[in-house]
Structure 1
Amino acid sequence: MNRRDFVGLSGLATGALLLPSFPGFGGTLVDPAQLLEQVDPAVKKRLADAALNAAKSAGATYADVRIGRYLNQSIFTREKQVQNIANTESYGAGVRVIANGTWGFSATNVVTEEGLAKAAKLAVEIAKANAKVQKQPVQLAPQRGYGEVSWKTPIQQNAFEVPVKEKAELLLAANAKALENGASFVNSSLFQINEQKYFASTDGSYIDQDIHRIWPTFSATAIDRASGKFRTRDALSSPMGMGYEYMVPKAVDKIAGPSGTGLIGYKNSYDILEDATLAAQQAKAKLTAKSVTAGKYDLVLDPNHLGLTIHESIGHATELDRVLGYEANYAGTSFATLEWKAKNLPYGSKVVNIVADKTQVGSLGAVGYDDEGVKTGQWDIIKEGKLVDYQKIRDQAAIVGQDHSDGCCYAQSWQDVQFQRMANISLKPGTQKMSVDDMIKGVDKGVYIAGRGSFSIDQQRYNFQFGGTVFYAIEKGKIAGMLEDVAYQANTQEFWNSCAATCDQSDYRLFGSFFDGKGQPSQVSAVSHGSATTRFNAVNVINTARKIG
């Protein structure tokens, strides 16, 4: 697609293109063709060595450098129009050092040997200044160097190679499906990210990584013109660590939802036309759906919903910096302190087995090495209901008596300092064969919930409330019609101890977020959470439409 066609399709003059209003999507507007360019690893090694040598010469006992090229393409549509297309690039380097036992950091977009050397020297100056108030020296877990290695997201088709016109037309086709099936309004978007990251350290690592992520999404709204009432159903897609192959639907990747709902779950490919069709129908049906009666219900939670609950009540709660009180932004610290863990209290029922995994194929958090040069892996967080470990990085391991990092350090860009971020945190599926319909057969009075919704959680990651996208009543083992105004309330221990059963591996799917916020200044990261459909017994459900007073 040439530049003239690109500008014409967007319907906007080049100078008027707006950047997406999402965090982490900054950068300089570039021609789409530039998104396919690469930087020679030999050039990056030369630049990295300039920074490492300068840091050591200035007095650093440890140094690492991250040279990053962050590429984003975003396409936005509404009904029959393309509203905006943005192609952005951010390129620069960040240098982190330890001098006098203290961290220092500096970044630059002058990507030359001189520019990186200057940044390295400044980082050492900052570390030495910080050392005046440092109470304890930084203690890094040992890490061997890997030499020159590389890792790439195992994609089948680079999304940036697909013509913008083709992608925009797919979104417009999804909009058309929604409008044909009862939606009054619809908007859709496609986000594509490529992180080209080069890490080098005085430990002897030179790591070149090429990371790809994609996220198609939409929102379909139906309006009752007589009453002015409206209801919305968002896409049931999940952001994925994949290429454009995710947008090519395959029957083998589809999982039927509960009988009587028409819902489809998607694994490694996504049918946006099919989902948009059903979304419009469900948005329209929500206008006349029965409002839930508050009370105790058994909940059957779809993976596209449960992932958010896992994220908030387990993922953030087991980040070691929150546990230690070092991090308190975005809903606080954690109830699951070292003292709490030492008491061996049950985090959940014996059905609850939670793993952290930075290697899971297709997940958003999958990388070969983290931003400290640590090779990634998998480890247990909760085993048969008991908390057995946390998520930690190199300067945290010694605090809990361990000699290694978990490889979950990340920075959203070259200009941000890396710090502890959430790994992919997932609930293991059940080992016995069980479909969603099999699970529902055992529910006398319940609610089935799919899709994410509004939520709140307290400063200790303990008391919470979660909504969803679509809700169905379960009566005597069968789906008994759509519900509205549903949310459930619990505390983390109570909720996970009510976990009664999970479907098997055949139902296992990923939920994800491109924009998990943390820190001050805030940064975002991408993370996935896997699970199969799961049942929780006797959970308190409230009616969110109930009027007070």
Structure 2
Amino acid sequence: MKRRDFVGLTGLATGTLWLPSLPGFGESILVDPARLLETVDPAVKKRLADAALNAAKSAGATYADVRIGRYLNQSIFTREKQVQNIASGESYGAGIRVIANGTWGFAATNIVTEASLAKTAQLAVEIAKANSKVQKEKVQLAPQKGYGEVSWKTPIQRNAFEVPVKEKVELLLAANAKALDNGANFVNSSLFQVNEQKYFASTDGSYIDQDVHRIWPTFSVTAIDRTTGKFRSRDALSSPMGLGYEYLTPKAADKIAGPQGTGLIGYKQSYDILEDATLAAQQAKAKLTAKSVTPGKYDLVLDPNHLGLTIHESVGHPLELDRVLGYEANYAGTSFATMEWKAKNIPYGSKYVNIVADKLQPGSLGAVGYDDEGVKTKEWDLIEQGKLVDYQKTRDQAHIVGQKESDGCSYADSWSTVQFQRMPNVSLRPGKEKMSVDDMIKGVDKGIYIAGRGSFSIDQQRYNFQFGGTVFYAIEKGKIAGQLEDVAYQANTQEFWNSCAGSCDQSDYRLFGSFFDGKGQPSQVSAVSHGSATTRFNAVNVINTARKLS
């Protein structure tokens, strides 16, 4: 795209702008979009890594790893018929982690030369030795074999960074037009793209080159009743994915019809933003006259695009071992699911609750070949038939629970930040018996069907919570009976998952995603997916969010 056309299209005075407040994209510098296609030769990165590893060992490190990272991002923002902003950023540097005197040390540099990396490695060792003076216990790493020179790449069909900006802008504006033509008064849409070019090397003998891609198209539409001043919104039912731009090329085989009477459509490995924007405007308009829910106990039928967030907050975070141990309390606290609680064999959920952790699912945000400690990724069970059986662990945590290997869930969001335990994909296995969403609804006498994410709240131990949603439909005597509004459900984690009465089968299985999941101090973000099929929960307490307390 020519610069003159670029400036004319965006209405901006420069080709690229940076948004410093955008979560997860810190430390980036302004770049020309064309530069985002550049790469660094793995042979060069190996030479740089060896300089760091050799310097660390010479300075007294018993273990060292180096991460050379080039982090690219592009974000496009539109509103109605206008482009609001286009931001392209690049961050490039190296982070070096060592163990000396049994203690961790870390240092990073954005000067990517052999001399600079060697000096930075020496600094990391000095920091480790200083830390050892106050360290009470020595670091114990689970054994990890070296893999030699290996590589992994997100299996994309079309690199989003190779797609002309004009094409992406035109698609977002076309989605806006669909929403406006179907009753929306306001609409904004966005497209986030990330490419992590990560090189990991360690004294274990691994040299791992990875090319990771993620994408997230999203929007929000608002409809207004100008007579009353009332307004209602409906957000996109897309999910962030570990895919390329092919995600925005809709395929009929990827579509799943929602319950009869809702018009909703679920998406798997591709997404039709024009179709979703059309329906979103119609549903936002219908929300203006929808019946306000009567509080009480209802059977809930939860769509995967909604249930994923509940899984994330009530299962994913509380089973992070650092929270369980009390080592981590930032971003909503520790965990009720302590090792003592697990030892008592207290049911986490009903027999229908089988939850698996992995970093393997194709198209998922968490999919990588190796984590940021050089551990080959895998799948493992967290909850089996309602029983808690395991947690999420890194190399220096495995010995705490008597295990001899890491789960491969270490991650850092930048070359300049130290890697630590981050949530992998955490997913609810679908039911084994054939069941469609309509089949599930036929068995519900009084219930509510919920799709999409809404506001939520959860306590400091990830136990008591409240979740809203995007769209709600009443279920009466086995049939959809019109839209509802002002719906939220309240429960505690045990109560909720023990009320699980089953899920639809594999044909309904889809991924929800969190593109900017925060943790740590200083804060880091990661991206993670949560899969499920539509699932039923019996006799859950529903409140009316519009009613005032007397």
- TM-score normalised by length of structure 2: 0.99
2 CA distance for matches of 1:243 and 1:234?
A: 22
Letter in 1 for 2:2: N
Deviation digits for residues 137-189 of structure 1 (CA, Å, limit 9, x no counterpart): 00000000000000000001111111110010000000000000000000000
1 CA distance for matches of 2:222 and 2:21?
A: 21
Letter in 2 for 1:534: T
- The CA RMSD measured in Å over matched residues stands at 0.8
* 2:16–2:87 Cα contact (<8 Å) kept: no
Deviation digits for residues 443-476 of structure 1 (CA, Å, limit 9, x no counterpart): 0000000000000000111000000000000000
2 CA distance for matches of 1:16 and 1:423?
A: 33
Determine if the alignment matches structure 1 residue 19 to structure 2 residue 22. no
* 1:78–1:188 Cα contact (<8 Å) kept: yes
Where does 1:126-525 land on structure 2 (aligned, <5 Å)?
126-525=127-526
1 CA distance for matches of 2:319 and 2:274?
A: 38
* 1:199–1:206 Cα contact (<8 Å) kept: yes
Deviation digits for residues 271-316 of structure 1 (CA, Å, limit 9, x no counterpart): 0000000000000000111000000000000000000000000000
Instruction: Assess, with a 3 A threshold, how the Cα gap between structure 1 residues 520 and 465 changes in structure 2: closer, same or farther.
Output: same
Deviation digits for residues 96-117 of structure 1 (CA, Å, limit 9, x no counterpart): 0000000000010000011111
Shift of 1:19: 1.7
Determine if the alignment matches structure 1 residue 95 to structure 2 residue 96. yes
Q: Which residue in the other structure is 1:5 paired with?
A: 5
SS of the equivalent of 2:315 reads: helix
SS of the equivalent of 2:340 reads: helix
2 CA distance for matches of 1:358 and 1:511?
A: 14
2 CA distance for matches of 1:19 and 1:3?
A: 20
Letter in 2 for 1:517: G
Letter in 2 for 1:201: S
* 2:18–2:29 Cα contact (<8 Å) kept: no
Unmatched 5+ residue regions in structure 1?
none
* 1:347–1:493 Cα contact (<8 Å) kept: yes
Shift of 1:3: 2.3
2 CA distance for matches of 1:211 and 1:175?
A: 29
1 CA distance for matches of 2:6 and 2:389?
A: 53
Runs of 4+ in 1 over 6 A off after TM superposition: none
Q: Which residue in the other structure is 1:42 paired with?
A: 43
2 CA distance for matches of 1:2 and 1:351?
A: 56
SS of the equivalent of 1:14 reads: coil
1 CA distance for matches of 2:464 and 2:188?
A: 34
- Number of matched residues? 549
SS of the equivalent of 1:314 reads: helix
Letter in 2 for 1:234: D
* 1:65–1:95 Cα contact (<8 Å) kept: yes
1 CA distance for matches of 2:468 and 2:286?
A: 18
Shift of 1:2: 2.1
1 CA distance for matches of 2:96 and 2:283?
A: 50
* 1:3–1:31 Cα contact (<8 Å) kept: no
2 CA distance for matches of 1:60 and 1:126?
A: 11
Please say which of residues 114-123 and 15-24 is displaced more in the overlay: 15-24
Unmatched 5+ residue regions in structure 2?
none
Letter in 1 for 2:529: S
Shift of 1:20: 6.3
Letter in 1 for 2:111: V
2 CA distance for matches of 1:379 and 1:7?
A: 49
* 1:335–1:461 Cα contact (<8 Å) kept: yes
Deviation digits for residues 195-239 of structure 1 (CA, Å, limit 9, x no counterpart): 000000000000000000000000000011111111000000000
SS of the equivalent of 1:306 reads: helix
SS of the equivalent of 2:46 reads: helix
Deviation digits for residues 23-54 of structure 1 (CA, Å, limit 9, x no counterpart): 11130111111111100000000110011011
Letter in 2 for 1:347: Y
1 CA distance for matches of 2:143 and 2:277?
A: 50
Deviation digits for residues 459-509 of structure 1 (CA, Å, limit 9, x no counterpart): 111000000000000000000010000000000000000000100000000
1 CA distance for matches of 2:334 and 2:543?
A: 26
Where does 1:65-80 land on structure 2 (aligned, <5 Å)?
65-80=66-81
Identical pairs, percent: 87
Instruction: Assess, with a 3 A threshold, how the Cα gap between structure 1 residues 500 and 20 changes in structure 2: closer, same or farther.
Output: farther
Letter in 2 for 1:341: K
1 CA distance for matches of 2:148 and 2:536?
A: 47
1 CA distance for matches of 2:289 and 2:127?
A: 62
2 CA distance for matches of 1:349 and 1:16?
A: 52
Q: Which residue in the other structure is 2:34 paired with?
A: 33
Shift of 1:7: 2.3
1 CA distance for matches of 2:459 and 2:166?
A: 45
* 1:487–1:542 Cα contact (<8 Å) kept: yes
Q: Which residue in the other structure is 1:539 paired with?
A: 540
SS of the equivalent of 2:274 reads: helix
Deviation digits for residues 371-408 of structure 1 (CA, Å, limit 9, x no counterpart): 00000000000000000000000000000000000000
Q: Which residue in the other structure is 1:64 paired with?
A: 65
2 CA distance for matches of 1:210 and 1:245?
A: 17
